[in-house]
Homo-oligomer: A and B are copies of this chain.
Amino acid sequence: MTDHRQGPVRSEAARLAILEATARLFLSKGYDHLTMEGIAAEAGVGKQTIYRWWPSKGDVVADCLLDGLLLPDSLRPQDTGDIRADLAAWVAGIFLVLDRPDGEGLLRSIIAAAAGNADVGRRIYEGLGASSSMADRIRKAIAEEGLPADTPVEEVGEAIVGAVILRALSRSPIDEAGARRLVGALLG
């Protein structure tokens, strides 16, 4: 006895339309002004189709995040062979991409989503979408650039991402010099 139910199966077209509409609206209006009704209308989908598969706005956004529809690929640290310079550049650069001191910066919108939804929060932790690539970069530096082997990779990554988040909340981007001081303090 297989468990084939009768009737149609989940529509992949609807799922995609919803996620893409969500990403579009999130990027243009921010998390706060994103509404379920707006998503349904933008996706050309009944509201019930959203509620059938996702319990809340936050969960839809979490899925967007997971599918990489919200964050650009440019978030992974470069590798020039100088770990300190690469991390400092990442920190200073992220504000150019994700944050505007005024308005609904994308980073702040994601933080708001994370504050309201556990899944989004966990996704963020699993690397600000992509920055577990930061842990990779640090490990590579341990292996090849002479960074001490007992460097606590996780904690260093969290401290960097955390400092960025704090500054995003306070609307005061970290500049080049600040980024170097931060990385210097963490990597000795």
Most-contacted residue by chain B among A122, A154, A167, A169 (CB, 10 A): A169
Residues A165 and B167 in contact, CB atoms below 8 Å apart: no
Name A161's contact: one of B151, B166, B172 (CB within 8 Å). B166
Residues B169 and A125 in contact, CB atoms below 8 Å apart: yes
**Number of A residues contacting the other chain (C-beta, 8 Å)?**
41
8 A Cβ contacts from A150-188 to B: 151-152, 154-156, 158-167, 169-172, 178, 181-182, 184-186, 188
Residues A111 and B115 in contact, CB atoms below 8 Å apart: yes
Complex contacts, A162 vs chain B, CB 8 Å = 159, 161-167
CA separation between A156 and B108, bound complex, in Å? 22
CA separation between A164 and B155, bound complex, in Å? 11
Q: Is A124 an interface residue (CB 8 A)?
A: yes
Complex contacts, A158 vs chain B, CB 8 Å = 163, 166-167, 182
Name A121's contact: one of B31, B114, B156, B171 (CB within 8 Å). B171
Residues B155 and A182 in contact, CB atoms below 8 Å apart: yes
Q: Is A116 an interface residue (CB 8 A)?
A: yes
Q: Is A22 an interface residue (CB 8 A)?
A: no
Complex contacts, A32 vs chain B, CB 8 Å = 116
Residues A109 and B115 in contact, CB atoms below 8 Å apart: yes
Q: Is A118 an interface residue (CB 8 A)?
A: yes
Complex contacts, A31 vs chain B, CB 8 Å = 115
Nearest Cβ in chain B — how far from A113, in angstroms? 9
Q: Which A residues fall within an 8 A CB radius of B?
A: 31-32, 108-109, 111-112, 114-116, 118, 121-122, 124-126, 151-152, 154-156, 158-167, 169-172, 178, 181-182, 184-186, 188
Given contacts A152-B184, A158-B182, 11 further A-B contacts (CB under 8 A): A114-B169, A115-B115, A118-B171, A124-B166, A124-B169, A159-B160, A159-B182, A159-B185, A162-B166, A185-B186, A186-B186
